Structure 1
Amino acid sequence: MKEIKCECGHVNPEGTELCNACGRALTTAADNKKTSDVMRYEGTARRSQTYNASVVDKVWNFFSSVKVGVWLIVITLIVSSLGTILPQVLFIPPLIPPEQYYEEHYGWFGKVYYVLGFHDLYNSWWYMLLIAAIGISIIIASLDRVVPLYKALKNQRVNRHESFMKRQRLYTEQKVEDPDAAMAAIKKQLKEKRYNVKEIDRHLLAEKGRFARWGPYVNHTGLIIFLIGAMLRFVPGMYVDETLWIREGDTVAIPGTDQEYFLESEKFVVEFYDADEDPEVFNAAIDRVGSIVKNFQTDAMLYKREEEGIAGDQRELELVQQKAIQVNEPLKFDHFAIYQVNYKLDEFRSMSFNMTNKETEENVGSLTVDLFEPQNVYELNEGFRAELMGYYADFTGFENGEPQSQSPVPNNPAFLFKLFSPEKPEGEVAFIAIQENLEPLGENEYKLNFAGIETRNVSGLTVRKDLTLWILGLGGAIFMIGVVQGAYWNHRRLWVKVTDDGRLLAAGHTNKNWFGIKKDVAHAFKGTGLKEITDQQEIEDNNIKAREAGEENSLDTTSKH
């Protein structure tokens, strides 16, 4: 770096606007500014204003710009809003491929939406890059400013040049009979206001609230920690939020546990409010909406696979705990929590049929179809059997003569059987659905009659694990500390010096709340014979308003003539 030598002899790094020793303006640009404008970072050199040669410098300078950070946030907000136009993949039917769902339901727009990754926006690689870019921008912009600010504030000089003091917003220059006595009184009264006062050779610096200057950087730190916590949610094992549907009597692996833990649903229980319990409270509601759920729970058993067992092998399971999972009473284990959130009553489990002779109505055998694990062949009485040619768990109708199923869940099961008998050894084709019994290849001799159905309840659970919650909480807490620190306190400074010819100069600066520092200065000047300190900004603003008012009056007079 090049160096800039001030008239006072102090050597400053290139990019410094105000001399770190005396406060003189070192550049033409700084000289044309009000001193208050360059006091934001104490006029010290920032890296982005100094280095511009290497690729690292250019990257640093790019991300240190506040405008770049704002644009990154704006772009992220716009992209996030685009992700709300169509439902995210989490909220579409899980049994349909996303690429098929978006194109079928939303046409070409849905296809483009899927290809660009908006269907799973918050997990897409480019969205993660945007969040990372915001984090990098915050880190670099903060470091670019906080390091020189720290150095400048740590080594504040008591003696400031007269030109530095004259260009502060609050300034006064007065003659007093005994400047040293006035200085002593000012020092004493500033200490009463809890100012930290330093005095060297008839020069005085009073300061308080310096910690307020670190408020923005504290909340930047909190924001960075919060972003790190949010990004850690995409690291496997750190965050799990999965839906688990489990049927009564089933044992399934718990999502996110790498098949280490299993859950068995012994029984699902649902209770409804009875109008007889409190007729005044429940009668009107029950009449309006029907039955009202009082409680629903899953009586569950948690198992853990033994260490020497094979992954997914349910034979090597050890009971860990047994609990009734209710809405606000989750089952907790090993950083996981399983919540009761939904249910489905009377889901079809199996259907039974009788094979009968249509003419004689003789029953030649019965079969039961497990709707989740149907067999290919069902042997009946001697010489009779039924082969399952097609199973349509959620039958929706025919398309081009072919039966269609929209999901593997048996909401509306239908079957295509081939019935074999001694009279028809080549078999007869029959299509059977709820309230439908079709014979697509002509009239059959035998038919299947519906004989019964078995149902069971299904419990909807949510499996959650969040190891990032404390990071998010820590980041949020630090962020709020920084907000309070910067919002409710301010950094106030007052410089006072006695010149060789007996004049007393005083200048004040604060990063905000000028009314507060004026009150402190008025208290410091009490009983010293000094007049009130001048707010040069107010004088300038009043002059501008007066000039504008004069120009308007002149224009009005001209227009009348």
Structure 2
Amino acid sequence: MSEITCECGHVNPEGTVLCEACGKPFEENQHLNDNKPEQLLNMRYDGSARRSQTYQRTIVDKIWNFFSSVKIGVSIIIILVIASALGTVFPQEMYLPPGSDPTTHYKEQYGILGQIYYQLGFHNLYSSWWYLLLLAMLGVSIVIASIDRFVPLFKTLRKQKPKRHVNFMKKQRIFGETTSTDIDYKRLKKNLKSKRYKIHEEEGHLLAEKNRFSRWGPYVNHIGLILVLLGAMLRFVPAMYMDEFLWVREGETKEIAGTDGLYYIKNEDFILETYDMEDEANSQFQESLQNQSGPVPENYQTNAVIYERTDLPVVPGKEPELEKVREAEARVNHPIELDNGISLYQASYQQNEFSSMTFKLHDKGNEDTDYGQFTVNLIEPKDEYTLDNGTTIRLERYFPEFELQDGEPTQVSKFPRNPAFIFEVKVPGEETEVSFAGIGVNIDASGENDYKVGLVDFQTRDVTGLTVKRDYTLPIIAFGAAIFMIGVIQGMYWNHRRIWIQPKDTGVWVAGHTNKNWFALKKDIDRIVADTGIEPPVDQQEEKDEAERGNDDGIISDKQ
């Protein structure tokens, strides 16, 4: 690419707006209005040459220019916001009730809109490929846009010199000329230092600067955003983030997800404590408690035992050899923490879940008869049961949560909340009979059975619901958020101020520039030049605005 050689001898990259050495404006790159020669300088990025504004030939250039555009970045953010909002219309699949089938749940609960929601894949929106692609595109846009602007701006600010071109001085927003040779430069420098300006001097020309670090605030923001996005995307890496749900019944021992078979948990006891309505200690909550339809839980916890498997590596089909590690309690907001970064949070519970049911075989017309009893374990039922008299009872079908729909038995969930069974009864020497039995229901489908399977007893137990969670991304997200806030503070509460002072044969010129808060800069300069023999400069933009307003008022008056 061709370069631009300034009259001062400095060679600038193509696309430079202001010479990096003397600040001379290159009119062809300033994009000024030819009808307004008095127009102020375009000081954006200090006139540095940005790659996206210079190279436009190869496919790499086009990709770079696409992602460096602020409009593209904002568009991606808007699409992400809309997509994220869509994900909150109905619950995501991970938050559905345990045992729910998403293929039917959304239609049953939310109608046709729920079905459309599911079919479009919005039930797993935040892990969908297109949502992750949008996050990646936003990250790429932030990185490229930052590099495209930061690198040339950093180089330009590092190279700036006190001695600047005449047009650079005259076309600054804050500018003033003083015709006098009686200037107190000693006092001027003292005033600058009292305002914490750093002074650079070259052949009598002064550059006073402070708060340059504030210019990097937006780029610090971008670093924070990139870290937050990285942390969010790492949540889809199993080694970095895990959020599973584990139901453990009292007396049951289960493997803890995410530990590769190393840790197991046994539910020794589930405890539920409710608020006592008569207790004076709860008097301040009486009104809230009385508005509840039932008992209000005060505490629910799981008394558990953590085991470690000792017979590693795991052999499929082999019963694990477990060694007790410790006893622990999981309460709301007080998880059980393991050494590998996994925490077990008390999240839910199910009281009085059926654990087993005992039946007997008796004559259809006489419940006092008893040909034998058998017990069905509702968690791991057997396929066949044999009574003492040789009768075989085969479990044909098992409905953990039974419900009749259109006269047909169906299974609502896999949890034994309303168990029902279809038994095949084979009495030696007689034909096989089919019976349908459950709680409060006993049906002879053929109407010709001689025997009946009747419920004798049942046992219940509590079930605890634990969230198994590991999150190595949270420190990354928190660190990114902290970096972002540092950038916000850095760019919001400070502003980059520069003052150029150039001695002339007939006096002195003063020019000033800031990236924001021009009023404060003007006040700074007025105080600095006080009692130095230098006249306070003017805000040329304000003078132009006032002149235009005056012209507009005159035109309106003439028309009236």
- TM-score range with shorter-chain normalisation? over 0.9
Query: Is the 8 Å Cα contact of residues 181 and 507 (structure 2) preserved in structure 1?
Result: no
Provide the residue aligned with 2:322 in structure 1: 317
What secondary structure does 2:45 align onto? coil
Aligned to 1:403: 409
- Determine the C-alpha separation between the residues in 1 that align with 2:405 and 2:83: 41
**Is 271-280 or 222-231 further displaced after alignment?**
271-280
**Shift of residue 52, structure 1, vs aligned partner:** 1.2
Aligned equivalents of 1:7, 1:362: Cα separation in 2 = 116
Match of 1:384 among 369, 386, 391: 391
Query: Which residue of structure 2 lines up, in the alignment, with residue 4 of structure 1?
Result: 4
Contact 1:35/1:164 (8 A) holds in 2: no
Q: Match for residue 164 of structure 1?
A: 168
- The partner residue of 2:64 within 60, 63, 66 is 60
Q: CA deviation at 1:534?
A: 0.5
- Which of 171, 194, 197 does residue 196 from structure 2 map onto? 194
Farther-moved stretch of structure 1 (533-542 vs 356-365): 356-365
SS at match of 2:449: coil
2:466 paired residue among 461, 465, 478: 461
Partner of residue 83, structure 1: 87
Q: Return closer, same or farther for 1:479/1:374 CA change in 2, 3 Å cut-off.
A: same
Pick one of 477, 484, 491 that aligns with 2:482. Answer: 477
User: Counterpart in 2 of 1:246?
Assistant: 248
SS in 1 for 2:424: strand
| Distance across 2 between alignment mates of 1:543 and 1:285 | 67
Q: Counterpart amino acid of 1:13?
A: P
Are the equivalent residues in 1 in contact too, given 2:250–2:268 (CA < 8 A)?
Answer: yes
Q: Deviation of residue 129 (structure 1)? A: 0.8
Which stretch shows the higher mean deviation, 222-231 or 1-10? 1-10
Is the 1:267–1:298 Cα contact (8 Å) retained in structure 2? yes
Q: Which moved more, 1:272-281 or 1:82-91?
A: 272-281
Superposed counterparts of 1:263-282, under 5 Å: 263-278=265-280, 281=283
1:415 matches 2:421: yes
Q: Which residue of 1 aligns with 2:145?
A: 141
Corresponding residue for residue 92 of structure 1: 96
* AA at the equivalent of 2:45: Y
Structure 1 counterpart of 2:26, one-letter code: L
Find out whether 1:450 has 2:455 as its counterpart.
yes
Q: Supply the distance in 2 between the matched residues of 1:480 and 1:440 (Cα, whole angstroms).
A: 71
Query: Which residue is equivalent to 1:493?
Result: 498
- C-alpha distance in 2 between matches for 1:32 and 1:287: 73
Deviation at 1:37, TM superposition (A): 5.5
SS at match of 2:536: coil
Shift of the 139–35 alpha-carbon distance from structure 1 to 2, 3 Å rule, reads farther
Q: Which runs of 5+ in 1 are unaligned?
A: none
Please say if residues 126 and 132 of structure 2, whose CA atoms lie closer than 8 Å, have aligned partners that are also in contact. yes
* Cα deviation code 1:214-273 (max 9, x no counterpart): 111111111111111111111121011111111001111112222221111111122233
Cα deviation, residue 152, structure 1: 0.7
- The total of aligned residue pairs comes to 551
In structure 2, what is the equivalent of residue 130 of structure 1? 134
Deviations 1:17-69 (A, max 9, x none): 11112211113341626886532211011111111111111111111111111
The TM-score normalised by the length of structure 1 is: 0.93
Write the distance in 1 (CA, Å) between the matches of 2:450 and 2:274: 48
CA distance in 1, matches of 2:155, 2:315: 58
Which residue pairs with 2:28 in the alignment?
28
Per the alignment, in what secondary structure is the counterpart of residue 459 of structure 2? strand
Give the Cα–Cα distance (whole angstroms) in 2 for the partners of residues 446 and 337 of structure 1. 52
Contact 2:48–2:152 (CA<8 Å) still a contact in 1?
A: yes
Q: 251-260 or 204-213, which moves further after superposition? A: 251-260
Match of 1:120 in 2: 124
The answer on whether the counterparts of 1:25 and 1:31 sit within 8 Å (CA) in structure 2 is no
Q: CA deviation at 1:275?
A: 4.1
Query: Distance between the aligned counterparts of 2:261 and 2:164, measured in 1?
Result: 71
What is residue 206 of structure 2 aligned with on the other side?
A: 204
Q: TM-score, normalised by structure 2?
A: 0.93
Instruction: Say yes or no: does 1:509 pair with 2:492.
Output: no
Matched, 1:298 2:293: no
Structure 2 segments unaligned to the other structure (5+ residues): none
Please give the alpha-carbon distance, in whole angstroms, between the structure 2 residues aligned to 1:298 and 1:182.
81
Distance 1:87 1:98 in 2: 11
Task: Read off the aligned partner of 1:473 and give its amino acid letter.
Answer: A
Q: Distance in 2 between matches of 1:37 and 1:75?
A: 36
What is the deviation of 1:536?
0.5
Tell me the alpha carbon deviations over residues 302-349 of structure 1, each in whole angstroms, 9 at most, x when there is no partner.
112226341575522222221121113211112111111221111001
RMSD: 2.2
SS state at 1:315 partner:
coil
**Residues 46, 153 of structure 2: 8 Å contact kept:** yes
Q: Aligned to 1:343, which of 338, 349, 359?
A: 349
- Whether the aligned pair in 2 keeps the contact of 1:36 and 1:509 (CA below 8 Å) is no
Q: 2:430 aligns with which of 419, 422, 425?
A: 425
Q: Distance in 2 between matches of 1:31 and 1:390?
A: 81
In structure 1, how many angstroms separate the alpha carbons of the residues matched to 2:405 and 2:254? 34
- Check the 8 A contact 1:22/1:157 in 2, yes or no: yes
Q: 1:437 aligns with which of 427, 442, 462?
A: 442
Which residue number in structure 1 is paired with residue 380 of structure 2? 373
User: Is the CA contact (8 Å cut-off) linking 2:372 and 2:389 kept in structure 1?
Assistant: no
**Aligned in 2, Cα 1:482/1:417: closer, same or farther, shift over 3 Å?**
same
> Which segment is superposed worse, 488-497 or 71-80?
71-80
Counterpart of 1:351, as a letter, is M
Contact 1:428 1:444 in 2 (8 A): yes
Q: Who is 1:530 aligned against? A: 534
Name the SS for the 1:426 alignment partner.
Answer: coil
Structure 2 residue 188 is matched with structure 1 residue 183: no
Any idea what the Cα deviations from partners look like across 1:372-414, whole Å, max 9, x if unmatched? 2222222223143322222111111044x53211111111111
The Cα shift of 1:76 comes to: 1.1
Contact 2:261 2:314 in 1 (8 A): no
Residue 549 of structure 1 is matched in structure 2 by 553
**1:534 to 1:79, Cα distance in 2 relative to 1, 3 A:** same
Q: Cα distance 1:438–1:115, how it changes in 2: closer, same or farther (>3 A)?
A: closer
Pair 229,377 (structure 1): closer, same or farther in 2 beyond 3 Å: same
- Contact 2:355 2:379 survives alignment (8 Å): yes
